[in-house]
RNA sequence: GCGACCGUAGCUCAGUGGAUAGAGCGUCUGCCUCCGGAGCAGAAGGUCGAAGGUUCGAGUCCUUUCGGUCGCGCCA
């Protein structure tokens, strides 16, 4: 679009200066344009001359002046000026502005899709909560963020597989407790200590008709299926779906856990020697001390009890070794993770990147997960040949230099293949006070309740489906407005208000306004048609077109660093640019049909850009409000 | 102790190493005979937590430091 066109112009100007020997080859500085804060500095500015001045051994203003001369004849530019210490200020010609509008109209919402420079095949896992309760408002952020990130990555040209990991291991103590709570309600048994209370538990219990099988296992299977169905339904209402719902238990049933762990055993990443290594880490992960902890032998170990199986994760940057298999033979949660992360690379086939989106409480889990993937990688890599003894403290972690090098190479590879993205805490405010996600009566604040409360408060007269739509739009937008890596205050009172305080209505209003205007134009006899591309010269028109054309650029940036809140910010800025334009430029003017047609084209292009960004954000584009 | 995140307007937060740091809310003042006023224009409000450093240029990068939130299980 506009930026890429300008960069292309600049590149050819630079090439011509290099051809005539004014600039040396291979300066390496990126050619970029930025939008100056001050409109007097043009539509776009380029700092290339400043960047390369030192390397080229020339005065930056002199370089800028020569670049300006080389650009003078470009029809896309109305003016080129050298300013300040060596900026190049560019003004767009109306024809370039008009051509951008025509381009958007021709390509439709596909204008917001771009080819990736290095397309990746990515598995994105998000939400993945235990099936022992509904999706909470806390998980809502992960759901909104994860689903939007997937949309953005796809728009940026990557292949994305959306995945939900079901923590349904039959050995899970939390699931067992949940099942026992349901069972005691169904069968009228004494309630387990620390059991799950709350309406959602009795709701599950009420849906179960006893079969005669009174085992906890039977109840666990039934209640988790019901809970999972509820989660699926709530997420669907929130506009979130998955390509794969992956069952943890299936890994055990298929023998994949056993197989994966044997592989780790074989490549030296796991063993059953009775000790645990712990690292004392200083700043920047420097190993200050290594502690080898002898494993205590329990008096009451039953004869025949097995040995603890350890993942030697300290070889892969983790601060302590982790238990894979308990003495009693039960696998730990992390054991399933080993098999799971091996399996995940099949979705999409030959995936080259796993993205795992976790809440702030799982931050301590990154080192462990990375170690798991590194241990898996090691089995697939060539072992280095050289071998010599290591000095302390490394000698207490690795057998020799060959092993150390192999482990560190595997770790580096793992860090390339697995990326854990942590989103930060959400604090919910009601009446200016923090509203707890878990209530004292054992109930939790469910995402679906939030959606419906917002919908009801905003549109009391609307039907249930419409209220859900409104609640979903508002909630998603609130979650997505802020960077995922900063703490978020979610003002429940503000979300429930249907007023201009609420930014989601601001952006949707712009869309509804356009729809209404286009309808009016049709009545006045203006059909979608060709327009004169040179007529959009008002500063508000230029500003609006620039903003429309920025969407692919924002998608690119968001896909690069996962900062998808930019899309929400973008939508607000686009809506603002439209409202400014609308206020200052009357669109339908029967006495000026050519101008009217050009402005209608601009309105339609704005509509396309709004719809594309709403699609990424997972919110609706209402034609009336 | 270690780690992640945060510290920018009264509040909630944006901000690509660039020129005079922005928006929303809140406070004040205006704008519908006219395409949807859920809008627009304007005013007021700032030592970007602090100190060093890198650079032609730092809210942004590096080091240190002070505050705040959260996390560091043979739970999942």
Q: Which tens digit of pLDDT belongs to each residue from A143-156?
A: 999 999 999 999 99
Would you state the pLDDT for residue A284? 74
A593 touches strand B (CB under 7 A): no
- Counting residues of chain A whose pLDDT is more than 90, the rounded percentage is 69
**Stronger pLDDT, A599 or A194, i.e. the higher one:** A599
Check whether A121 has a pLDDT greater than 70. yes
The tokens for A489 are 């205050």
Strand B nucleotides below 7 A of a protein CB? 2-7, 12-16, 18-26, 34-41, 56-57, 64, 68-76
pLDDT at A32 over 80: yes
Q: Higher pLDDT residue, A611 or A501?
A: A611
Mean pLDDT, chain A, rounded, equals 91
Output the distance from A519 CA to B4 C1' rounded to whole Å: 51
| Coil vs helix vs strand at A143 | helix
Q: Does CATH place domain A2-92 in 3.30.1360.70?
A: yes
- The string of pLDDT tens digits covering residues A410-459 is 998 999 999 999 998 888 887 777 777 777 677 888 999 999 999 998 88
- Report the distance from CA of residue A132 to the C1' of nucleotide B76 in Å, as an integer: 11
| Residue A82 near residue A64, CB atoms below 8 Å | yes
CB-CB contact of A138 with A221 (8 Å): no
Q: Is the pLDDT of residue A500 over 70?
A: no
What is the model's pLDDT at position A509? 94
Q: Is the CB of A130 under 7 A from strand B?
A: yes
Tell me the CATH number for domain A98-117+501-617. Answer: 1.10.730.10
Q: Tell me: pLDDT of A302 over 70.
A: no
Enumerate the domain spans of chain A. Answer: 2-92, 98-117+501-617, 251-346+360-422, 440-496
Phi-psi region of A571 (alpha: psi -120 to 50; beta: other; left: phi over 0): alpha
Q: A401 CA to B67 C1', in Å?
A: 44
| Per-residue flag: A585 CB under 7 A of strand B | yes
In this prediction the ipTM stands at: 0.95
Better-predicted residue by pLDDT, A57 or A436: A57
pLDDT digits (tens, 9 = 90+) for A88-101: 999 999 999 999 99
User: What pLDDT, on the 0 to 100 scale, is given for residue A111?
Assistant: 96
Reported in sequence order, the residue ranges of A267-389 that DSSP labels E, i.e. its strands, are: 270-271, 275-281, 287-294, 309-311, 322-325, 353-358
A308 vs A429, residue with greater confidence: A308
Chain segment A162-207, per-residue pLDDT in tens: 999 999 988 888 898 999 999 999 999 999 888 888 899 999 999 9
Reported residue count of chain A is 625
- pLDDT at residue A389, as a whole number: 83
List pLDDT tens digits, range A223-266: 999 999 999 999 999 999 999 999 999 999 999 999 999 999 99
- In window 184-243 of A, residues with CB < 7 A from nucleic chain B are none
Helix, strand or coil, per DSSP, at residue A424: coil
Residue A300 has a pLDDT of: 55
Least confident span in A17-21, A391-395, A447-451: A391-395
Q: Which two tokens stand for residue A254?
A: 């298929």
Nearest to A111 by CA among A554, A484, A565, A584: A554
Residues 483-502 of A with CB under 7 A from strand B: 483, 485-489, 498-501
């Amino acid at each position: 679009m506009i930026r890429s066109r300008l960069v292309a112009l600049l590149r050819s100007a630079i090439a011509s200066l290099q051809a005539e020997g004014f600039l040396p080859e291979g300066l390496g500085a990126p050619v970029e344009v930025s939008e100056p804060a001050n409109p007097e500095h043009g539509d776009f500015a380029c700092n290339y001359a400043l960047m390369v001045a030192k390397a080229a051994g020339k005065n930056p203003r002199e370089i800028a002046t020569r670049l300006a001369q080389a650009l003078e004849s470009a029809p896309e530019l109305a003016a080129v000026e050298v300013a300040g210490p060596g900026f190049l200020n560019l003004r767009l010609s109306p024809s370039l502005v008009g051509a951008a509008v025509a381009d958007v109209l021709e390509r439709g919402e596909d204008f917001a899709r771009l080819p990736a420079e290095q397309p990746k095949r990515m598995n994105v896992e998000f939400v993945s909560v235990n099936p022992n309760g509904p999706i909470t408002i806390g998980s809502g952020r992960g759901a909104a963020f994860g689903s939007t990130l997937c949309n953005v990555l796809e728009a940026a040209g990557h292949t994305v597989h959306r995945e939900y990991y079901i923590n349904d291991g039959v050995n899970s103590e939390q699931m067992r407790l949940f099942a026992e709570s349901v069972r005691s309600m169904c069968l009228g048994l004494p309630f387990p200590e620390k059991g799950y209370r709350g309406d959602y538990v009795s709701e599950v219990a009420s849906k179960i008709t006893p079969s005669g099988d009174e085992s906890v296992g039977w109840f666990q299977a039934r209640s988790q299926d019901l809970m999972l169905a509820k989660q699926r339904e709530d997420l669907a209402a929130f506009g979130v779906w998955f390509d794969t719902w992956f069952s943890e238990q299936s890994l055990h049933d298929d023998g994949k856990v056993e197989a994966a762990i044997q592989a780790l055993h074989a490549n030296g990443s796991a063993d059953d020697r009775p000790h645990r290594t712990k690292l004392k880490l200083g700043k920047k992960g420097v190993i200050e001390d290594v502690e080898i902890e002898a494993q205590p032998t329990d008096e009451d170990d039953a004869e025949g009890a097995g040995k603890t199986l350890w993942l030697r994760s300290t070889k892969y940057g983790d601060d302590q070794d982790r238990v894979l298999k308990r003495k009693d033979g039960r696998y730990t949660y992390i054991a399933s993770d080993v098999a799971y992360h091996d399996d995940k690379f099949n979705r999409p086939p030959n995936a080259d990147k796993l993205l795992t989106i976790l809440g702030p409480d799982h931050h301590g889990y990154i080192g462990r997960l990375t170690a798991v993937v590194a241990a898996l990688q090691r089995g697939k890599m060539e072992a280095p040949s050289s071998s010599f003894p290591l000095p302390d403290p490394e000698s207490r972690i690795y057998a020799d230099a060959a092993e150390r090098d192999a482990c560190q190479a595997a770790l580096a590879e793992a860090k390339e293949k697995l990326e854990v993205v942590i989103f930060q805490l959400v604090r919910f405010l009601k009446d200016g006070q923090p509203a707890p996600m878990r209530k004292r009566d054992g109930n939790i604040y469910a995402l679906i309740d939030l959606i419906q409360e917002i919908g009801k408060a905003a549109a009391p007269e609307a039907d249930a489906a419409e209220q859900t739509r409104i609640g979903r739009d508002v909630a998603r937008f609130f979650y997505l407005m802020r960077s995922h890596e900063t703490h978020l205050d979610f003002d429940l009172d503000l979300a429930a208000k249907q007023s201009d305080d609420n930014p989601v209505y601001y952006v949707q209003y712009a869309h509804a306004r356009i729809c209404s205007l286009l309808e009016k134009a049709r009545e006045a006899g203006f059909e979608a048609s060709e327009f004169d591309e040179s007529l959009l010269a008002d500063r508000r028109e230029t500003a609006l077109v620039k903003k429309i054309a920025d969407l692919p650029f924002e998608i690119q940036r968001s896909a690069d660093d996962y900062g998808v809140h930019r899309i929400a910010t973008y939508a607000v800025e686009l809506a603002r640019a439209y409202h400014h334009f609308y206020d200052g430029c009357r669109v339908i003017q029967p006495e000026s049909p050519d101008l009217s047609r050009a402005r209608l084209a601009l309105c339609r292009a704005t509509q396309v850009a709004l719809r594309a960004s709403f699609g990424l954000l997972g919110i609706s584009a209402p034609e009336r409000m």
